[in-house]
Amino acid sequence: MAHSVLFENLATTNGKFVGQAILNVEGTLNSLTLEMVDLLLDQLAVWQSDESVVAIFIRGAGEKALCAGGDVQALHQSSVSQPGGPCEYAETFFEREYRLDYLLHTYCKPTIVWGHGIVMGGGLGILAACKHRIVTEKTRIAMPEVTIALFPDVGGSYFLNKMPGYCGRFLALTAASINAVDSVYAGLADYCLNHEQYDRLCGTLLQLSWSGDRLEDDRLISRAIQELGDSAIEKMPAGNLESHQTQIDYLCEGDDVAVIADRIAALTTDDKWLSKAKVGLAGGSPLAIKWIFRQLNLAKGLPLKDIFQSELLLGTNIMRHPEFAEGVRALLIDKDQSPNWQIADLDSVSEDAVAAFFQAPWPQNPLADL
């Protein structure tokens, strides 16, 4: 049986090593399980204390995805088997996953990620957390959590708020997908390369004059990838975020998410990307629309560790509530595309109903020690 994550120390030409981690479950588009998260945490700790390892490179196996998210089926099973909670597997998964993301955000060595193909959920958490984030002409990023009554977690409360204008709010509410050009514009990625440049990238990285000095090595990596990227931009698809920025800002301004939802619902357009976004919001859970909006507002300006603690609090409460299980049932299990949401429309979602999801369900946050 193949290992779910493959690890290797790749030898550089000057006697150092680049630690490579490959998410290795092609059948599920490399979706993260608790086992995979724990393997990554343990190996990253080993590499962190190994002076011969100068950088970390993360990619997904196969041609289709870096990582399509978390193992939603396992989370669903945990939620329905322990209604009202504690949902042990799901809650442990989120805690460990957020530890992994926080470790990558704060890692003491350069981290490089090859964000080719589908990048969603947990995959986006890994992409966003690395220092050198590479996307390709085949990259497709989305945060479709509103459609299964979840929320853009794995640090989404942090990086969505840093996007230009109201792009982050728009993507979170509509589940709209973005490509490589969009992801660089939004601050989720740093470089665009063609997929066919992968082998050349690997060869280039292993030939760098690694010093072991973090800042110096980061500069070496940046220069090397940028030089490769100079020829790649011609093959990149046209972005959508920058060209729609004015309209996105108009649609999403204000403090009332119901007004924002009404504006998006009233859109009359032949634009395929905007039309899909309109459908995404219309199919989302009204409860989730409200808690996504509230979480983004609460997270503005918070330190990263506080953001992960707040995401664990919200995620834990969501796992213990039936709305998430119903969303997963309708979209991913029975696939009838007809979720029976707890509350049928936004106007019927009271502030008290939303506030309940932001009350700590335990005496101490499991991430208090971050």
pLDDT of residue 324: 96
Q: Is 155 left (phi over 0), alpha (psi -120 to 50) or beta?
A: left
Q: Would you state the structure tokens that stand for residue 323, as one six-digit string?
A: 């709305």
Helix (H) or strand (E) holding 17: strand 17-23
What does the pLDDT average to over 260-274?
96
pLDDT of residue 48: 97
* The residue type at 14: N
Q: Is pLDDT above 90 for 232?
A: no
What does the pLDDT average to over 324-346?
94
What does the pLDDT average to over 307-314?
98
pLDDT digits (tens, 9 = 90+) for 120-145: 999 999 999 999 999 999 999 999 99
Q: Which residue's entry shows tokens 């899909």?
A: 276
How far apart CA 266 and CA 98 sit, in angstroms, is 37
DSSP state, residue 238: P
Give the 3-state secondary structure of residue 119: strand
Beta strands in 33-117 (DSSP E): 53-60, 65-67, 111-115
pLDDT of residue 219: 97
Tell me if 221 sits within 8 A of 208, measured CB to CB. Answer: yes
Exposure string over 302-330, b if 16+ CB within 10 A, otherwise e: eebbbbbbbbbbbbbbbbbbebbbbbbbb
Q: Is pLDDT above 90 for 49?
A: yes
What does the pLDDT average to over 202-211?
97
By C-alpha distance, which of 60, 56, 61, 50 is closest to 124? Answer: 60
Report the percentage of the chain scoring pLDDT > 70.
100
Q: Is pLDDT above 90 for 262?
A: yes
Tell me if 89 sits within 8 A of 74, measured CB to CB. Answer: yes
Question: What's the pLDDT band for 233 if we cut at 50, 70, 90?
Answer: confident
DSSP 22-55: EE--GGGTT-B-HHHHHHHHHHHHHHHT-TTEEE
146 alpha carbon, distance to own chain's centre: 14
What does the pLDDT average to over 55-68?
98
Walk me through the domains of the chain, giving residue ranges and CATH numbers. 5-358 (3.90.226.10)
**Degrees to nearest 5, angle at CA 199 with 193 and 204:** 85
Q: Is 7 left (phi over 0), alpha (psi -120 to 50) or beta?
A: beta
Q: Is pLDDT above 90 for 230?
A: no
Q: Is pLDDT above 90 for 231?
A: no
Tell me if 356 sits within 8 A of 297, measured CB to CB. Answer: no
Compute the mean pLDDT over every residue in the chain, rounded to the nearest whole number. Answer: 96
Task: Tell me the angle at which helices 257-265 and 272-282 cross, rounded to the nearest 10 degrees.
Answer: 130
What does the pLDDT average to over 202-223?
97
pLDDT of residue 299: 98
Report the percentage of the chain scoring pLDDT > 90.
96
Instruction: Find the distance separating the first CA and the last CA of the chain, reported in whole Å.
Output: 34
Question: What's the pLDDT band for 1 if we cut at 50, 70, 90?
Answer: low
How far apart CA 312 and CA 370 sit, in angstroms, is 12
pLDDT of residue 235: 83
| Preceding peptide of 86 cis, ω within 30° | yes
